[in-house]
Homo-oligomer: A and B are copies of this chain.
Amino acid sequence: MKARENLGERRIIEIIQSRLDLLPKMPIPFGDDISAYNIGNGKLAILKTDMLVGKTDVPPSMSLWQAARKAVVMNVSDFAAKGVKPLAILVSLGLPRKLTEKDVEEIGRGLNSGAREYGAYIVGGDTNEASDLVISLSVFGVAEKGSLMLRSGAEPGDWVAVTGLFGKTSAGLKILLEGFKAPKDICDFLVEAVYMPKARLKEGLALAASKAVTSAIDSSDGLAWSLYEISKASSVGFLIDSVPVAAEAAKFAEMNGLDPFELAFYGGEEYELVLTVKPRLWSRAEKAVKDVGGSLIRIGRVTAEKRVLLETEGEKRVIEPRGWEHFRRH
């Protein structure tokens, strides 16, 4: 029998799901980024829960304020990817005994900052003693039926785009966890990407309103993994022809003899949106994002064959379905 360490998150979710009775007429199938419940009048209650665990989600030297804020960002990012405004957030805390009053205060401030940054409010919660720091949030919102951007819906010929550049967080984590080096300005920039992630909420809401998007997901498990998730849910593949590597990450890779593609595709904890757009509606989607101060970067197109290929300088290589694995504090 496999023990937990060999099971992996996806297999665990599979096992649990297989034991559940299905809500009749479930508005969104299991496996998308959020859950929904039909509340009538053409509206859906949108629900999401995600847990931050100190050991695997909080790099050393990240403050408790930052960790608490990050717990909010993690959850809001999934709302962003579906184009739904987060309204109310509940907090369930597991706190180690050693935390002081000041620590708890910092967590409270971080939660509030994260929520207010995205227009939501913390409306309730609960606290418990636990060995690890655990910040489990659940987020509530309301969406019009049919307005959600789902993982399914991408079609061959669609363009695939992202809302920002990749590789910053994976480079930052290499600095924080593996002792890699970079000049101060680049180092600060990359580490800041880890400490202060941003959810692309404005972009997600604008994209959903544009009605130009056929599928969307956030990139918290890495760009490669996100592409494979859309691939699975939409039964399509991707040909990526432009790799959206951040300049600082490229520089960091060069200086340390690392592959910048590796940083960009297999990093994680990066909260860009990955989405597909009808080519004839591209300019509408692009404008929608620009109007809210963001940018939409085309990185390739949707193909019929269910795999993800990268084409650079006329050469094709297969992007592996590898996901971001949470790190582990020792």
A interface residues (Cβ-Cβ under 8 A, vs B): 1-5, 7, 9, 11-13, 15-23, 26, 30, 34-37, 39, 41, 43, 45, 47-51, 53, 55-57, 87-88, 90-105, 107-109, 111-112, 115-116, 121-132, 134, 136, 138, 140, 142, 326, 328
Contacts and interface: CB of A to CB of B under 8 A. Distances in A.
A119 to B, nearest CB: 11
Contacts of A102: 1
B128 A48 contact: no
Given A9-B128, A93-B12, A127-B13, A100 B51 contact: no
A55 B131 CA distance: 9
A50 B108 CA distance: 17
Given A4-B98, A92-B138, A138-B47, A15 B104 contact: yes
A18 B132 contact: no
Contacts of A100: 1-4
Residue of A45, A101, A128, A328 with highest tally of chain B CB at under 10 A: A128
Nearest to A24: B121
B50 A126 contact: yes
A94 B138 contact: no
Nearest to A142: B39
Given A49-B91, A101-B1, A108-B17, A26 B123 contact: yes
A30 B112 contact: no
Nearest to A101: B2
B2 A326 contact: no
A9 to B, nearest CB: 5
28 contacts: A1-B101, A2-B100, A3-B97, A3-B100, A4-B129, A16-B91, A16-B93, A18-B108, A20-B121, A21-B116, A23-B121, A36-B123, A37-B87, A39-B43, A45-B45, A45-B142, A49-B136, A51-B128, A51-B134, A53-B128, A53-B129, A55-B130, A92-B92, A92-B136, A92-B138, A94-B134, A130-B132, A140-B140
Contacts of A126: 13, 49-51
B129 A131 contact: no
Given A20-B122, A49-B92, A131-B132, 9 more contacts: A2-B100, A3-B99, A4-B97, A13-B127, A16-B93, A19-B111, A37-B123, A51-B128, A130-B134
Contacts of A328: 129
Contacts of A57: 128
A47 B37 CA distance: 13
